[in-house]
Amino acid sequence: MENKRKYVIPGDVITTGPYRPEQNVILDGNKIISTAIGISEIYDDSIKVIPLTGKYIPKIDDLVIGKVISHTSLSWELDINSCYVGFLPAQDVFGRDFSAHADELSSKLKSGDLVAARIANFDRTRDPLVTIADRDLGKIDSGHLVKISPSKVPRLIGKRGTMIQAIEMATGAAITIGQNGWVVVSCETPEGLLKAKKAIQMVDEKAHVANLTDQVKEMLESKGES
């Protein structure tokens, strides 16, 4: 294939030579070794492995879907399907003039609420700081939550968004994808909703298959006729 894709498992030597190791690969001498189960891709000067399994690791500027676990008088804690909890400070919602005495956090977000949030800051020393102060972010009022493996999110989006566009076009659904593997689907018609959910689950199951976009399109169209 174009850029020499290969199935790899941890410990597999992908190639040798002067390449720059990117995601999920390590350099041992001049050997480039995969550290995950996935598909290796060799570019002109770099190598990366797209993982097929694993938990979500927060990255700055990622859009995630979070679920409110609890709150203190100053902040909320969000379950973002990761090994760390998302930390949402109250100033973010109430603004600068937030006062812990006057404002009650549960009036804005309660435990169990879903929010679309962006990772504002994250490093090794602290839990990820998330924000909802932006356009398209904030509490999610309606829609269905579909959980897929976070490692398959890039596949669901597709090259330049082709996959997700195909699903949205065919079903008329609005889909919000969190990088953490949580996806919110909302649609006017119940048929479109079911179809979109099915398509998303299909991508999750068959992520390693080549030309999946065509297969998904086929599935969406065939259902439309019946």
Residues that bind other proteins (CB under 8 A): 5-7, 9-13, 24, 26, 28, 33, 35-37, 51-55, 57, 83-84, 124-125, 151, 208
Q: Report the 10 Å Cβ neighbour count for 139.
A: 15
CA 177 distance to own-chain centroid: 6
CB of 185 to other proteins, least distance (A): 23
CB of 102 to other proteins, least distance (A): 33
Query: Of the two residues 67 and 195, which places its CB atom closer to other proteins in the complex?
Result: 67
Nearest residue to 140 (alpha-carbon basis) of 190, 183, 82: 183
CB of 121 to other proteins, least distance (A): 16
Question: What burial class does residue 212 get, using C-beta atoms within 10 Å of its C-beta: 0-12 exposed, 13-18 middle, 19+ buried?
Answer: middle
Query: Of the two residues 82 and 171, which places its CB atom closer to other proteins in the complex?
Result: 82
Query: Of the two residues 27 and 169, which places its CB atom closer to other proteins in the complex?
Result: 27
Query: Of the two residues 39 and 163, which places its CB atom closer to other proteins in the complex?
Result: 39
End-to-end CA distance of the chain: 36
Question: What burial class does residue 172 get, using C-beta atoms within 10 Å of its C-beta: 0-12 exposed, 13-18 middle, 19+ buried?
Answer: middle
Q: How far is CA 55 from CA 83, 152, 180, in A?
A: 7, 11, 8
Would you say how long the chain is, in residues?
A: 226
Residue with tokens 């006062």: 99
Query: Of the two residues 5 and 110, which places its CB atom closer to other proteins in the complex?
Result: 5
φ, ψ dihedrals at 222, nearest 5°? -60, -40
CB of 15 to other proteins, least distance (A): 13
Query: Of the two residues 186 and 201, which places its CB atom closer to other proteins in the complex?
Result: 201
CB of 135 to other proteins, least distance (A): 32
CB of 158 to other proteins, least distance (A): 20
